[in-house]
Chains A and B, each alone.
Chain A
């Protein structure tokens, strides 16, 4: 029980009639980086603020490292949060910002500044202590915000979309930095984003949310390869969802019927009968119409993107979106092809 960093028990947070978080129950392990993922307005930020104590739950119970914090004020929870806007105090220098938590906690200014200096060094910010936040680049500001959070040795570190103010290149570097730091210091981190790439890249565990509830929880591979329903399948990356019939499936190869064709493809065990089947665009291989088995179709659109090629293929089962490596054979628009599935995901809804 105590190896959960954070435990939610039937937590609800209502703003008037809106239930931003609805009867949420989960355990998040210690020392892991957990990402909350979901579309805008699904309650990610609210969940994070509930952990931080910036909102108090309408119902339910919250534990941090085994202790009940449901009614505890933010100042007493020993968590730290990195805000989307960074929330650096504009009237204080970097050093004052980083030592703020220590000073208000009652530490002597000198020892506080010593610790703050050390933390700045850890994050590669030495020499910037005397500057004001406005005199830093976006990435530096972000690291100052992290330093300010870490210097308090929090039980849990919370990030609310920490990269959304950075440009694409910097996002990649900073997210690697955060991941490194988390591993190096063994921190428990909860990370909010609505960018699934970012989530897949850094997380130990992913929690996909929808309308204030958990849609699915699991490792990045589990969620990508084995989404529970169409919502998660679609959210974790593009997916073609086909209506079809499972003829046989024992956990290895399965046989399915879609659009009048019968195909064989790897899939998990599923009872025979009608089902929604998700197929990732890169799990479809296009072969020429003479090559035997496959779902026949005609290429409607073809685009070359450098590393990959994208096609839209009209079939009996509907339009399929297909991504192939650039090295694979290219097809012209209007070409007759067969689609073969390299992995099919039967959905539970």
Chain B
């Protein structure tokens, strides 16, 4: 795309933003009726009334940039500078003049006492997009980004979005932790970070609970160790144990991916709660008294391990299979016995994968929110404590922010550790040479102990998911009343035919919102993710490293932290999104983005770069190359990104629990609410429906988008020799 074309498009967007779109309104359809007056007034109308006079310079700059663009003689530097200045003016005036009038007293001599103004609306968004377009077009005209305006716009636009929706929230939470009573207070920050509630060691000496940091760390370490051990047992059995139970193994790996994370907790309560099935049986048969042991560390740990062990299994199985049998055969020909081979060759080669697996389990446990919320009882961890600091009786954003910082520090610490560990030792066991030996079988003792771990666990997992399947269709599974009923399904999903269809069930609203938000955010995530991957993998431009860092950053931020930071950052003008459905979409897009980017980069690595270059030498610009060559070849990665972001948007709870509103509730949050209200059966019934919907959608996506075979025979993507 030429720089001039982009510049003109940006100009059009800018004009629309000034003349047509409501300057402030975001989504209230009722207010639109007032257009072009009152709440739906575009900037032009406001300016004509003498309001928002401080926006005149921005309009002037737009006109200034328009001159060369209309005449067709580009002046790149000028256009880019105008764009940057417009961007700055729009944001600064929004910060300076907020809901309570002038927020920056220092500007009083310049601005006087302006009337309060609400947040930016679609008009503002369009003008900002136009400014980004002008910057990109100007830079491209100056020969940056290989002179390609499309790439320039992608880079500028995605960098802007990432700054706004990943970086700014982080900064906000950082500063919120250091602010008390509206003033900067480093002392308060220090006090909050070192708070007794976080670091107390009371549990060592007394019967009181320990600080949440210790709780979180203890839970994370136990969960990581247990899930890795169980995963390893499965992996060894599956890859080396000679067992024929692959379908069962596969099912076990897929189920956790499509279940909301806290569903397992519900099943555990049904089994082990005070009136649970197992608890009752124990009381009836052995006289073991009923207790609430499941609420606390044991329950949360069990739930997290149930969710994490299958992922550990997948990781470790890959690692075990990647160990070339020839290494083990070599050791065996040198006279080593089975167990010695395992101890001296197999085990050391597995260690990096084990470390990665431990760290992943650790991080997952840190960021888990649903299970501690449902099962934690008095056992608080950071993520739940953050939630209650915001949503509890006392609203303490400063404390929440400080706790969020602690959680963030733990997560980053884990990732840094992983980077260090992986940086120093990386064993390549996949050599590319055909390695067609027979894998060494497991030593007998090891096989028996693996089996002793794996088979009972498999049975346990099956029971848990069985409970979910059955629980929605019986009277009261929580008390062992197993008579069949449609009651719970009807409560949630009743449909009535009376003058057309009426969705009377109490769950319909949240289900529809969830589907809508997931359906909107999935293509956005996949699209933006793949484009970013293409930019990062195929284009070279200044600031590529920074862009990659920002795109991947949200991967390391726990959902709870994201949620808190979003309500802090987007609760006030100039960007006010809380309470809208848009904030849910935005949250999902930027949280799931890293997975799309990674998938895209991995897929692009398989596609020879000379295909892009061939297209370029034949006259294909960036847009054409992307549309005709890259995207068709990336189709599998796109499908994966779509399915992943859809499923995650439907199962996520930690971040969005802060962001939902009465009007826009989500299924997972609704279910958590049912659990807290004690309506266990309805919650379980809803989970069943959710799982079925996800299965259907994922299979559907695969059918519609995924039937993209590269021709009748699989075509080898030739790599440059």
Write the residues of chain A forming the contact surface with B, with a CB cutoff of 8 angstroms: 52-54, 56, 71, 73-77, 79-81, 83-91, 100-101, 104-105, 132-135, 148-149, 152, 164-165
Measured between beta carbons, the chain B residues less than 8 angstroms from A79 are: 617
| Contact (A85, B720) CB under 8 Å given A74-B617, A80-B617 | yes
| Contact (A152, B720) CB under 8 Å given A90-B633, A91-B633 | no
Contact with A along B606-633 (1 / 0, CB 8 A): 0010110111111111001000110011
Decide if the interface of chain B is mainly helix, strand, loop or mixed.
Answer: loop
- Tell which of B146, B621, B633, B720 touches A84, judged by Cβ atoms closer than 8 Å: B720
State in angstroms the CA–CA spacing of A91 and B718 once bound together: 12
- Further pairs besides A85-B610, A87-B614, A104-B619: 7, Cβ < 8 Å: A54-B613, A87-B608, A101-B619, A104-B615, A133-B715, A134-B713, A152-B619
Is A104 a contact partner of B624 (Cβ separation < 8 A)? yes
- When C-beta atoms are compared, the residue in chain B nearest to A83 turns out to be B610
Is A100 a contact partner of B710 (Cβ separation < 8 A)? no
Is A85 a contact partner of B633 (Cβ separation < 8 A)? no
| B717 proximal to A (CB < 8 A) | yes
Is B143 a contact partner of A86 (Cβ separation < 8 A)? no
State in angstroms the CA–CA spacing of A111 and B613 once bound together: 25
- When C-beta atoms are compared, the residue in chain A nearest to B608 turns out to be A85
- Chain B nearest CB from A181 CB (Å) reads 18
Chain A-chain B contacts (Cβ-Cβ < 8 Å), number? 110
Which of chain B's residues 393-436 have a Cβ closer than 8 Å to chain A?
none
| Contact (A81, B617) CB under 8 Å given A73-B148, A91-B710, A104-B624 | yes
The 7 A-B pairs with the shortest beta carbon distances in the complex, nearest first, are A101-B618, A90-B715, A134-B715, A87-B614, A87-B610, A132-B711, A74-B616
| B483 proximal to A (CB < 8 A) | no
Measured between beta carbons, the chain A residues less than 8 angstroms from B617 are: 52-54, 74-75, 77, 79-81, 149
State in angstroms the CA–CA spacing of A184 and B468 once bound together: 75
State in angstroms the CA–CA spacing of A105 and B613 once bound together: 16
| B438 proximal to A (CB < 8 A) | no
Is A91 a contact partner of B711 (Cβ separation < 8 A)? yes
State in angstroms the CA–CA spacing of A71 and B616 once bound together: 15
Is A85 a contact partner of B721 (Cβ separation < 8 A)? yes
| B719 proximal to A (CB < 8 A) | yes
Is A164 a contact partner of B721 (Cβ separation < 8 A)? yes
Is B619 a contact partner of A90 (Cβ separation < 8 A)? no
Contact with A along B627-650 (1 / 0, CB 8 A): 011001100000000000000000
| B716 proximal to A (CB < 8 A) | yes
Is A83 a contact partner of B614 (Cβ separation < 8 A)? yes
- Tell which of B143, B146, B712, B719 touches A85, judged by Cβ atoms closer than 8 Å: B719
Measured between beta carbons, the chain A residues less than 8 angstroms from B714 are: 134
| B505 proximal to A (CB < 8 A) | no
- Chain B nearest CB from A221 CB (Å) reads 32
Measured between beta carbons, the chain B residues less than 8 angstroms from A149 are: 617-618
| B296 proximal to A (CB < 8 A) | no
Measured between beta carbons, the chain A residues less than 8 angstroms from B621 are: 73, 75, 104
State in angstroms the CA–CA spacing of A100 and B625 once bound together: 10
- Chain B nearest CB from A339 CB (Å) reads 42
Is B616 a contact partner of A75 (Cβ separation < 8 A)? yes
| B480 proximal to A (CB < 8 A) | no
| Contact (A148, B618) CB under 8 Å given A71-B143, A85-B608, A104-B628 | yes
Measured between beta carbons, the chain A residues less than 8 angstroms from B715 are: 90-91, 132-134
Measured between beta carbons, the chain A residues less than 8 angstroms from B148 are: 73
State in angstroms the CA–CA spacing of A4 and B254 once bound together: 64
State in angstroms the CA–CA spacing of A238 and B610 once bound together: 35
Measured between beta carbons, the chain A residues less than 8 angstroms from B713 are: 132, 134-135
| Contact (A134, B618) CB under 8 Å given A87-B610, A104-B628 | no
| B325 proximal to A (CB < 8 A) | no
- When C-beta atoms are compared, the residue in chain A nearest to B609 turns out to be A87
- Chain A nearest CB from B284 CB (Å) reads 64
Measured between beta carbons, the chain A residues less than 8 angstroms from B720 are: 83-85
Is B721 a contact partner of A100 (Cβ separation < 8 A)? no
Measured between beta carbons, the chain A residues less than 8 angstroms from B719 are: 85
- When C-beta atoms are compared, the residue in chain A nearest to B614 turns out to be A87
Is B619 a contact partner of A87 (Cβ separation < 8 A)? no
- Chain A nearest CB from B361 CB (Å) reads 39
Q: Enumerate 23 A-B pairs (CB-CB under 8 Å) in ascending A order.
A: A80-B618, A83-B613, A83-B614, A84-B720, A85-B721, A87-B613, A90-B633, A90-B710, A91-B633, A91-B711, A100-B628, A101-B619, A104-B615, A104-B618, A104-B619, A104-B628, A132-B715, A133-B715, A134-B713, A134-B716, A148-B618, A164-B721, A165-B721
State in angstroms the CA–CA spacing of A66 and B35 once bound together: 59
Chain A CB count within 10 A is highest, among B618, B712, B715, B719, for B618
Measured between beta carbons, the chain B residues less than 8 angstroms from A74 are: 613, 616-617
Measured between beta carbons, the chain B residues less than 8 angstroms from A71 are: 143, 147
Is B146 a contact partner of A73 (Cβ separation < 8 A)? yes
Chain B CB count within 10 A is highest, among A81, A134, A148, A164, for A134
- Tell which of A85, A101, A152, A164 touches B718, judged by Cβ atoms closer than 8 Å: A85
- Chain B nearest CB from A49 CB (Å) reads 8
Measured between beta carbons, the chain A residues less than 8 angstroms from B618 are: 75, 80, 100-101, 104-105, 148-149, 152
Measured between beta carbons, the chain A residues less than 8 angstroms from B633 are: 89-91
Measured between beta carbons, the chain B residues less than 8 angstroms from A91 are: 632-633, 710-711, 715
State in angstroms the CA–CA spacing of A140 and B616 once bound together: 23
State in angstroms the CA–CA spacing of A107 and B712 once bound together: 28
State in angstroms the CA–CA spacing of A101 and B620 once bound together: 7
Measured between beta carbons, the chain B residues less than 8 angstroms from A56 are: 146
- Chain A nearest CB from B278 CB (Å) reads 55
